[in-house]
Amino acid sequence: MEIGFIGLGAMGRAMASRLLSAGHRLRVWNRSPGPARDLAAEGAQAVGTPAEAFRGDVAITMLADDGAYRSIGLAGPVLDQAPRGMIHLNMATVSVELTRELAAAHAERGLIYVAAPVFGRAEVAAAGKLTIVAAGPEEALDRAAPLLDAMGQRTWRLGPEPTQAAATKIAGNFMIAAAIETISEATTLAARHGVAPETLLDLLTSSLFAAPVYKNYGAIIAGRKYQPPGFRLALGLKDVRLALAAGEAARVPLPFASVLRDAFLEAVAHGDGDLDWAAVAEVARRRAGSDGAAG
Amino acid sequence: MEIGFIGLGAMGRAMASRLLSAGHRLRVWNRSPGPARDLAAEGAQAVGTPAEAFRGDVAITMLADDGAYRSIGLAGPVLDQAPRGMIHLNMATVSVELTRELAAAHAERGLIYVAAPVFGRAEVAAAGKLTIVAAGPEEALDRAAPLLDAMGQRTWRLGPEPTQAAATKIAGNFMIAAAIETISEATTLAARHGVAPETLLDLLTSSLFAAPVYKNYGAIIAGRKYQPPGFRLALGLKDVRLALAAGEAARVPLPFASVLRDAFLEAVAHGDGDLDWAAVAEVARRRAGSDGAAG
Amino acid sequence: MEIGFIGLGAMGRAMASRLLSAGHRLRVWNRSPGPARDLAAEGAQAVGTPAEAFRGDVAITMLADDGAYRSIGLAGPVLDQAPRGMIHLNMATVSVELTRELAAAHAERGLIYVAAPVFGRAEVAAAGKLTIVAAGPEEALDRAAPLLDAMGQRTWRLGPEPTQAAATKIAGNFMIAAAIETISEATTLAARHGVAPETLLDLLTSSLFAAPVYKNYGAIIAGRKYQPPGFRLALGLKDVRLALAAGEAARVPLPFASVLRDAFLEAVAHGDGDLDWAAVAEVARRRAGSDGAAG
Amino acid sequence: MEIGFIGLGAMGRAMASRLLSAGHRLRVWNRSPGPARDLAAEGAQAVGTPAEAFRGDVAITMLADDGAYRSIGLAGPVLDQAPRGMIHLNMATVSVELTRELAAAHAERGLIYVAAPVFGRAEVAAAGKLTIVAAGPEEALDRAAPLLDAMGQRTWRLGPEPTQAAATKIAGNFMIAAAIETISEATTLAARHGVAPETLLDLLTSSLFAAPVYKNYGAIIAGRKYQPPGFRLALGLKDVRLALAAGEAARVPLPFASVLRDAFLEAVAHGDGDLDWAAVAEVARRRAGSDGAAG
């Protein structure tokens, strides 16, 4: 297929690469030109504006946040030049509010909007093993299926409304953040009573908590190795904010998300915004009066 | 071995039964006499006072809470009559403070105190598949090993201080409660955006959250089937309180535990103390203005 | 002076009326035309667009929220037609972020931006007794002083940066909301132990808490009379959100504000957004399992 | 009257001194003998055991916490030797639970229990200006009136159940703690936006918040002068715990109290337990990443 791809951060690049390998033709655009040049070496065509990439059968976007979508005109000008009937697969994690706004803007112009955010880090994307949660018109999902299959190991179809996928992704990230905070508090408590974090985690992830989220983040927290970041803490704060906003839009109080907001904000205030989001564990330690260096 | 066993609730009974099957001799005592009579039918000797059960090689206790330990004299009078060198295996979930107090009271009298609380419900206990977290003198743990092996599938040795096991069990239960609250908030949020709780949970427990705690409680919450209770919500509130107290003793703030306290207390205030503790999900729903019956 | 006045809700109208009484000439604009016609009867000139009101020596705005400012073009088009050197007194409660944005937009066009939000309800405004917190260039504050004096009993000058006044107003409203929640929790607790809310409040407002905020809101909460609203609960939620956003911008965690957010949101979810914001007390009562009608 | 007085800390001593000045005969007892000797110089009779002080017409107690009451036998042995019909005025801040327990223990022995905790610091007690909140049998309150009048400027009668006074005092202290936290968060927020804490507080305590609690604690927090403590932070944590326990007993969730618990605990974890409880403001500052010395 003819595909436009906008947003070539670590995730976007890996995903675009998978599409090239699967034989699709890509026009790619990124704010800073380096990543587009790199992909050109793999066969993509680097273009000079978002509008040039917003053509063909399908446009895929993978930008950092709501602000990035607004600033390059994806809620307006860029859409005006797109061919009617084109599908836009937004694979980023954005707000429910922006999702609603983009869906309306596309509908007005005869474009098809699909929200298809992903779970998984860059190395998972590179292996084509992402978990994709998609929502939009059934027929569009069918047409996009080969692309989604090239990038993910499984695509969950959540329904016709793009907000369904946006909310699912936001709820999932909230759950990860809550698991991280839970590990942080529990290991700080146990450590003060003479139980090493590793021991507590070995024990619990052998049975009730035998899941990747507890194993991976447990290991990071027990070892206090927050670099390089798998997912930056500042982005974690953004995602907690998305959860709170989604809750507010639907009138759902989320007390755990409120605690998370304050904890991530405290971490950012202490200069840890560029570490892995598991570094929120240092907030729990600091509040308890524990000091010492972490990597 | 000659074993005294005090506390024959659903858990205690199943554990005592395992010990009888393994060929040990048991003197059993319970506040209400029915369960002791039942075990007598399996070969145990029912005795009339806690002190009569607090004899032999090892005494095992499995009482409901700190109050039960204090009220039958296990911090004082009952110990006075026990044979020096006897091991007391306390397998209940009690406070760090009581653990410290009991350890001292035993040491003064030449008795050996081991904290060995368990993870697992009554049917797990009946199958001898409990996960046991034990702490106390190494030699006592060696001597008690055949008993622990009869009751559990694995015993984790956490160190020489009984408080290490108490804190581990408390931290573990806190983590379960936090997972339940996380599921509650996330599913309420998703539902309001058109995503069924089952869908969100299927998706997440297929990958990142593929652990029993999310699968089991997720199913209960999605189905809103809180009866019969696997673990009563009122006991859940007690356990959250133990976490807060353990935090206070060690000067560890636990903001998630504070949120849990208020949520479980709200559930009890609405008459749900005898439901499964997953019924705290109804608090999240009610706060969001959702109504309707749950079983 | 020649004054433009935009935004004639209950507050704006009362303020504009004071200015007319003090002998100033007003061009007034409001989204719905009724209030402008009423003021015309008092001598104001009703104009047809915001831009026509954004002229003369000073323009005063008193709009509901950030969105209203953006939607009528006060961050852009309207400014383009204003005379250089004109002072814009923004007397509404808006975000620190919008304040920063407006200050920059005015500076670019040679206009002078002053943030001057007010404490006080409509009847206080009608009596010219508002408390005004103003920040902006000293010389502009001097020029605007006669206007501020006509509307308020006292103007506090907080410094040269408009954000100083915005943050002060936001912090003040946060403090009021926190006092309301405090009264809500304390009276619910006391009532359950047999102490009437009135009694607790009489006692405390006779001494330590002898302040209008506790007396006024205490009376509303004790009497459960939330209508007519002095300040709508939905606006209270908005103001709590402004506090959280101001905290996030400056990296200041605000755990009380987080609790307030969830409580106000719960009140809105239960249909109480149009009651006085003291109706958040019903959230505390409901959580405690107390029922019964409130007016 | 013949009065026994137990507990001669800073508060108790000042109160006992007022009673001596009013012409009453006092038998005094304190755990450490120094204060009793000092009062003997003012005419009191120092006695060697609590039981010797628990005689005459009225016994007054002013101990630090629940534990102190239990440890000197005021829930048991000491009562056994007291004359029937004697009134016990407990003027300390203790739990609702202990209040209930003591009331029952006194009733069983034909003694009359009155809870009469006080608001005010030691210098207020020395001036006989305490605010007293009393609950117990009407006739006992009448008999004790001359004593209460000698110690306080006003006694509020809350009803026949001692728990009514205990809960009122606990609710009042919770409100003070909440005001302190509110000031802490608001001033930290304002300071980060360029508004000095003094300015914010001057402004607000000139109008809406014109109450001693905001003026006094505002000045302490703005000046960061936490020594000497008017009320120790560690006792503040104890009082927040009493509020949470009173809430739990009556099934009233108290989210603000939960936040306070974690904040005070964090302050204690950082070594500030012996400062004035307003030092919890340093927690808000630290969480926001602000440093610097405080006195």
Structure tokens at D230: 């008017």
ipTM: 0.96
- Active-site option among D129, D169, D215, D225: D169
Residues of A with CB under 8 A from a CB of D: 255, 262, 266, 269-271, 287-289
Residue B92 φ/ψ region, left for φ over 0, alpha for ψ in the -120 to 50 degree band, beta for the rest: beta
pLDDT tens digits, A21-70? 999 999 999 999 899 999 999 999 999 999 999 999 999 999 999 999 99
B263 CB neighbours in chain D (<8 A) are 253
Rounded to an integer, the average pLDDT of A267-289 is: 98
Structure tokens at A29: 């655009």
A206 CB neighbours in chain B (<8 A) are 131, 154
Whether A155 and A142 have beta carbons less than 8 Å apart is answered as no
CA-nearest of A276, A282, A294, A281 to A121 is A276
Q: Where are the alpha helices (DSSP H) in C209-254?
A: 212-223, 233-250
C169 is a catalytic site residue = yes
Rounded to an integer, the average pLDDT of C24-33 is: 95
Top residue of A287, A290, A291 to mutate, by most chain D CBs within 10 Å, is: A287
- Is B155 in a helix, a strand, or coil? strand
pLDDT for res A76: 84
Q: What is the DSSP letter of C4?
A: E
Residue B124 CB contacts under 8 Å (≥ 6 apart), including other chains: B130
pLDDT for res A1: 87
* All partners of chain A with 3 or more CB pairs under 8 angstroms: B, C, D
C190 CB neighbours in chain D (<8 A) are 167-168, 171
Q: B225 falls in which pLDDT band (50, 70, 90)? A: very high
pLDDT tens digits, D104-128? 999 999 999 999 999 999 999 999 9
CA distance D259 to chain A (A): 10
Q: What is the DSSP letter of D232?
A: B
pLDDT for res B291: 67
Rounded to an integer, the average pLDDT of C36-46 is: 94
Structure tokens at D106: 């006194």
d(CA A58, CA A87): 5
A288 CB neighbours in chain D (<8 A) are 266, 269
Rounded to an integer, the average pLDDT of C153-174 is: 98
Whether D235 and B218 have beta carbons less than 8 Å apart is answered as no
CA-nearest of D132, D81, D74 to D104 is D74
pLDDT tens digits, C266-289? 999 999 999 999 999 999 999 999
Rounded to an integer, the average pLDDT of C220-226 is: 97
pLDDT for res C291: 67
- Active-site option among C169, C215, C225, C238: C169
pLDDT tens digits, C175-186? 999 999 999 999
Q: C294 falls in which pLDDT band (50, 70, 90)? A: low
The mean of the pLDDT values for chain A is 96
Strand pairing class (A58-61; A87-90): parallel
What's this model's pTM, rounded to 2 decimal places?
A: 0.96
pLDDT at C191 exceeding the cut of 70:
yes
pLDDT for res B76: 84
pLDDT at A283 exceeding the cut of 70:
yes
pLDDT for res B295: 43
d(CA D133, CA B155): 54
A247 CB neighbours in chain B (<8 A) are 189
d(CA A177, CA A241): 12
Low-confidence ranges of chain D (pLDDT < 70): 291-295
pLDDT at C295 exceeding the cut of 50:
no
CA distance C281 to chain D (A): 12
d(CA D107, CA D125): 29
pLDDT for res A295: 43
CB-CB under 8 Å, C255 with D263: yes
pLDDT at A110 exceeding the cut of 60:
yes
Tell me which residue in C255, C266, C288 faces B269 most closely, judged by beta carbons. Answer: C288
Tell me which residue in A154, A170, A178 faces B182 most closely, judged by beta carbons. Answer: A178
CA B132 and chain centroid, separation? 10
Rounded to an integer, the average pLDDT of C251-264 is: 98
A263 CB neighbours in chain C (<8 A) are 253
CB-CB under 8 Å, C289 with B270: yes
pLDDT for res A77: 87
Which residue in this structure is represented by tokens 């009298």?
A: B109
pLDDT tens digits, D194-240? 999 999 999 999 999 999 999 999 999 999 999 999 999 999 999 99
CB-CB under 8 Å, A243 with B262: no
pLDDT for res C209: 97
Between chain A and chain C, the number of residue pairs with CB atoms below 8 A apart is: 44
Whether B54 and B6 have beta carbons less than 8 Å apart is answered as yes
Rounded to an integer, the average pLDDT of A264-288 is: 98
pLDDT at A291 exceeding the cut of 70:
no
CA distance D137 to chain C (A): 15
D254 CB neighbours in chain A (<8 A) are none
Enclosing H/E stretch for A260: helix A255-269
Strand pairing class (B87-90; B58-61): parallel
d(CA A162, CA A173): 17
CB-CB under 8 Å, D256 with C185: yes
pLDDT tens digits, B189-221? 999 999 999 999 999 999 999 999 999 999 999
CA distance C237 to chain A (A): 10
* All partners of chain C with 3 or more CB pairs under 8 angstroms: A, B, D
pLDDT for res D295: 44
Structure tokens at A277: 């989001």
CA distance D52 to chain B (A): 29
Question: Poorest-confidence range of A174-178, B70-74, C274-278?
Answer: B70-74
Tell me which residue in C262, C270, C287 faces B266 most closely, judged by beta carbons. Answer: C287
> What are the backbone angles phi and psi of residue C29, rounded to the nearest 5°?
-140, 145
Question: Poorest-confidence range of A269-278, B67-76, B140-149?
Answer: B67-76
Q: Counting beta carbons within 10 angstroms of the beta carbon of residue D24, is it exposed (0 to 12), middle (13 to 18) or buried (19 or more)?
A: buried
User: To 5 degrees, how large is the angle CA B158–CA B160–CA B166?
Assistant: 55
CA-nearest of A86, A79, A69, A75 to A3 is A86
Rounded to an integer, the average pLDDT of B137-164 is: 98
Tell me which residue in C248, C259, C265 faces A251 most closely, judged by beta carbons. Answer: C265
d(CA A74, CA D67): 66
Enclosing H/E stretch for B39: helix B34-41
Torsion of CA D169, D172, D173, D174, to 10 degrees: 120
Rounded to an integer, the average pLDDT of B136-155 is: 97
* All partners of chain B with 3 or more CB pairs under 8 angstroms: A, C, D
Q: What is the DSSP letter of A44?
A: P
- Is C240 in a helix, a strand, or coil? helix
CA distances from D38 to A164, D3, D59 (A): 75, 17, 19
First to last CA, chain D: 45
CA-nearest of A70, A90, A72, A97 to A242 is A97
Q: C77 falls in which pLDDT band (50, 70, 90)? A: confident
Tell me which residue in B174, B200, B205 faces A168 most closely, judged by beta carbons. Answer: B200
Which residue in this structure is represented by tokens 């002229």?
A: C55
Top residue of B154, B168, B189 to mutate, by most chain A CBs within 10 Å, is: B189
CB atoms within 10 A of CB A110: 12
pLDDT at C37 exceeding the cut of 70:
yes
pLDDT at B271 exceeding the cut of 60:
yes
Q: A136 falls in which pLDDT band (50, 70, 90)? A: very high
